Structure 1
Amino acid sequence: MNNPKQALSTNELLILSSEVRKWEKSLPLAYLMLLAGHMGLHRFYLRRPASGTIQLVLFLLTTLCYFGFYIVSDEDYAPYSDNYGVWVAFLILTLLFGLALGIWVIVDVCLLPGMVKKWNAVLEQMVVDQIVSFRGPSHPGTGSVKF
């Protein structure tokens, strides 16, 4: 059987639709989470906590390095003073972490539709499997007849 949904009754299809609607993920909401802060919220939303945590840490590192760079830059520094090395270090770290995060966000813009679609497909399959497992042995289509 290619499509297990074809074997479902009308009532089972209604249950499927209701359950999937409750738990499905929204692509516009995922994009909003992605563009609103680049903190990995969209990955937590799509139940990808490992990559969401990495993205959040990368965002925090970028932010901390930026503020460190700002604080060191605010002081009067001479090109050959002790603060110059710290200034360059904060600048390089800010650019590296920011560039990595920026590239990751651009990649996620492209990957997000597939991630949402995959989540919703897996969810639908899980619900179909649960519906089929709750059927009794006398259900039409199971092959057994109860007298």
Structure 2
Amino acid sequence: MQFGKQNLTTNELIVLSSEMRKREKSLVLAYLMLLMGHLGIHRLYLKRTVSGIIQLALFLVMFISYILFIVLVGIDDTLVDSSLYIPGFIAAGIALVGFIALTIWVIVDACLLPGIVRSWNNNLEQTLIAQIVALRPVGNPENHPGPGQFN
């Protein structure tokens, strides 16, 4: 059985509000983390751990490939053996593909973030309401948990 906020007493609403403030996700904070989007921090914040780690790993592959390109091709091409150009440009290609993939992913995430945060907060609210209702004493409806009695 699913309860809504309208089924809660005033004390239970206070507890719900307090717990929501502690645990809810902020859309503004998620967007600020998205500014570092290629690192996947915003996904880790929203408990999307697998995709956050994938974004971070893709970023590291891209970054290492870019550094490898710089080392293999060299800043001054007279100092580097020209036989290293092909591996260097392969590394540059990997870095470019990684950059394009991550950029598209971050743009899509920018569009999806409001829904993800709203969904997280709605699920959290329903979970907290269920926990509050489960803590109601049996037989005495006047004896509801107050603030500070809910973890």
For Structure 1 versus Structure 2, the TM-score category normalised by the shorter chain is 0.7 to 0.9
Residue 37 of structure 1 and its aligned partner are, at CA, apart by 4.9
Residue 69 of structure 1 and its aligned partner are, at CA, apart by 1.2
Matches within 5 A, 1:1-147: 4-74=4-74, 75-76=76-77, 81-137=82-138, 138-139=140-141
- SS of the equivalent of 1:47 reads coil
Aligned counterparts of 1:97 and 1:118: Cα–Cα separation in 2:
29
Equivalent AA in structure 2 for residue 136 of structure 1: P
Equivalent AA in structure 2 for residue 4 of structure 1: G
Shift >3 Å, 4+ stretches = none
Q: Which structure has the higher relative contact order (CA within 8 Å, separation 6+)?
A: 2
Scaled by the length of structure 1, the TM-score of the pair is: 0.86
- SS of the equivalent of 2:35 reads helix
**Which stretches in structure 1 are left out of the alignment for 5+ residues?**
141-147
User: What value does the CA root-mean-square deviation take over the aligned residues?
Assistant: 1.9
Scaled by the length of structure 2, the TM-score of the pair is: 0.84
Residue 2 of structure 1 and its aligned partner are, at CA, apart by 8.0
Aligned counterparts of 1:12 and 1:63: Cα–Cα separation in 2:
50
Aligned counterparts of 1:36 and 1:44: Cα–Cα separation in 2:
12
Equivalent AA in structure 1 for residue 4 of structure 2: P
Q: What is the aligned residue count? A: 138
Residue 71 of structure 1 and its aligned partner are, at CA, apart by 1.5
Larger deviation, residues 104-113 vs 2-11:
2-11
**Which stretches in structure 2 are left out of the alignment for 5+ residues?**
143-151
Aligned counterparts of 2:8 and 2:123: Cα–Cα separation in 1:
17
